Amino acid sequence: MKLYNTLTKKAEEFIPHEAGKVSMYTCGPTVYHFAHIGNLRSYIMEDVLEKYLRYEGNEVFRVMNITDVGHLSSDGDTGEDKMLKGAKREHKTVMEIAKFYTDAFFEDCKKLNIKVPEVVEPATSCIPEFIEMVETLLKKGYAYEAGGNVYFDTSKLENYYVFNNHNAEDLEVGVREGVEADDNKKNKTDFVLWFTKSKFDDQELKWDSPWGIGYPGWHIECSAISIKHNGEYLDLHCGGIDNAFPHHTNEIAQSEAYLGHPWCRHWFHVLHLNTNSGKMSKSKGEFLTVSLLEEKGYDPLVYRFFCLQSHYRKSLVFSWEGLDNAKIAYDKLVAKIAALKNEGEVDSAVFEEYKAKFMAAVGSDLNTSNGITEIYNVFKAKTNGATKLALLADYEKVMSLGLLEAAEKLNAKAEAEAAEKAAAEEGVVKDEFTLKIEELIAKRLDAKKSRDFATADAIRAELSEMGVDIIDTPQGTKYTVR
Ligand code: AMP
Ligand code: ZN
């Protein structure tokens, strides 16, 4: 497939180191709060990418970390540990909130049809790996100790800014408003590998290390976890665009300094989901979650559809109106699928022709919106229902919009309603019939009581004509319908 690479700044053929095998790494969530639908836009697009690579016939081995320590309020290593902030907010321990929000994240993923990666590794379970990496960086002269912390020395690299030629303003990333600059750093862009001197004495999670008791920096997590599971050469690294600098830039710096050779070939970044007032972010406090969408009556897969309607390299503005339009389009599409009859044999020539069109669309820098157009094109194909349904099921291996399941549900609902209606109608007919029989039997009993046997016999004949046979028993008159 052709895929834009942030490193080379162009869409290029995606070629893994080993043909047919893709090693993939995704920066996982910082589990101090619920994932917002902006975070989930990134995970949805990464999921489509992974599934498309599989669809093309690759084996994909995907690794994701869970950031449960070391990610500070500012990506430039200052401020409070986000996990501690979350724990304080909820009067719980860091590990309690990590567990709670990790579970919540995977529940959201499930609702959005996002596949769980092959490896999910919390940062707190890889402390020895981080320490080994920091030790090696110190030995190789890429790191230094200052003020109790260990820092990566970015001046040791020929090209630190791998993604962009950052300007002076970009360098201010570590020194945001209200956050103090770190005087221990030799260079503004140096970053912490290991903290021992935390401004916060109540830092909950700490481990022993050659530099004293402390905790790892955020960036080292992703390098070490990726190398641990995917080895020295990584094919594809993903994340939201805010991760490109400084997080991914720092990952590249330390991974390549540690390994002594280039590390990851291809960098995939998803542009942000914005609101009218800017980027949706957890730290702003106001953000939308999957549960909130559900509370408002939206199927989470409508949000997936909303995301797939636009290209991952364009920022996407969220609005309720936009989501409503996606819902209307999604429901219409489901109804169209529900109306298809699974008739005939799959026509393999048509199937292959349309599959190639779908691959050309999505394989062109993950153009999911053209992929959706290809879904619509299936309905226009001059072929039978079986072929159309087979194509839609095939595209769903990549898009995972739950379209066929929703169509099945719609048909099952329609069938159940029709059956209910028929039963109700039948019930009315039966009741009238039963009432008539009961009325005639009662009349016959009266006739018999008044010894009017002629009338009684006439009623028996009338019932017989209606297909009803009667028999007098000590318990009263019984009847059977022929
Ligand atoms: P975090 O939980 O903050 O570590 O972020 C998890 C992922 O979501 C990272 O890949 C971020 O780059 C990404 N992300 C954060 N905010 C947004 C947003 N508004 N839109 C899309 N992706 C985002
Ligand atoms: Zn990361």
Q: For residue 75, is pLDDT > 80?
A: no
Taking only the tens place, the pLDDT of each residue in 224-239 is 999 999 999 999 999 9
* 242 vs 198: CA distance, rounded Å: 25
Which residue is closest in CA terms to ligand 1's atom 6? 29
Q: For residue 330, is pLDDT > 50?
A: yes
Q: pLDDT category, 412, cuts 50, 70, 90?
A: very high
Mean pLDDT for the stretch of residues 412-436 = 84
The pLDDT score that the predictor gives to residue 197 is: 76
pTM: 0.86
Which residue is closest in CA terms to ligand 1's atom 9? 240
Bigger pLDDT: 9 or 283?
9
Q: For residue 177, is pLDDT > 60?
A: no
Which residue is closest in CA terms to ligand 1's atom 16? 39
Q: Which ligand is nearest to the CA of 35?
A: 1
Nearest to 36 by CA among 330, 252, 285, 298: 285
Q: pLDDT category, 165, cuts 50, 70, 90?
A: low
* 387 vs 374: CA distance, rounded Å: 14
Residues 6+ apart with CB under 8 A from 42: 238, 239, 240, 270
**DSSP code per residue over 327-347:** HHHHHHHHHHHHT----S---
Mean pLDDT for the stretch of residues 164-181 = 50
Percentage above 70 pLDDT, the chain: 93
Structure tokens at 214: 């402390």
Q: For residue 179, is pLDDT > 70?
A: no
* 13 vs 76: CA distance, rounded Å: 33
Which residue is closest in CA terms to ligand 1's atom 11? 240
Q: How far is the CA of 459 from the centre of ligand 1 (A)?
A: 82
Bigger pLDDT: 168 or 327?
327
Are residues 64 and 120 in contact, defined by beta-carbon separation less than 8 angstroms? yes
Q: For residue 170, is pLDDT > 60?
A: no
Q: Length of the chain, please?
A: 482
Taking only the tens place, the pLDDT of each residue in 270-304 is 999 998 888 887 776 668 999 999 999 999 999 99
The pLDDT score that the predictor gives to residue 277 is: 80
Ligand 1: list residues with CB < 6 Å: 27, 29-30, 38-39, 41-42, 67, 239-240, 242-243, 270, 272-273, 279-282
The pLDDT score that the predictor gives to residue 162 is: 87
3-class SS of residue 224: helix
Are residues 223 and 246 in contact, defined by beta-carbon separation less than 8 angstroms? no
The pLDDT score that the predictor gives to residue 422 is: 87
Bigger pLDDT: 93 or 153?
153
